[in-house]
Amino acid sequence: MSKENYDYRYSIYGQQKDSNLLVNDNSKIWASVMNVGVGYSHNIGRTGTLRIEPYIKIPFKGIGTGSLPIISSGIYFGFTKNLF
């Protein structure tokens, strides 16, 4: 995560206040997320190959200013065709 924008509201001495925090972190951290996936491929005749791959992304450390333990998952769909 390279840019975070937080809008928040708080109360101090009985008065409500609004505030904003913008955090820019341009540091590059390589290999900070592990991707795990298993795929299935199916040939569609001479047309090509269809691929379906469920995945999960697990961070090695917390993400963002609050070090949130965010895990994401989903499904990749792909189609491959040989050109030659």
Condensed to tens digits (0 to 9), the pLDDT of residues 8-19 reads 898 989 899 999
Domain count of the fold of the chain: 1
List b or e across 22-60, with b for residues whose CB sees 16 or more CB atoms inside 10 angstroms: eeeeeeeeeeeeeeeeeeeeeeeeeeeeeeeeeeeeebe
Q: Please measure the distance between the N-terminal and C-terminal CA atoms of the chain and give it in whole angstroms.
A: 40
Model-level pTM?
0.56
Over residues 48-75, the pLDDT tens digits come to: 999 999 999 988 877 666 677 788 999 9
Domain that holds residue 48: 3-80
Tell which wins on pLDDT, 3 or 26.
3
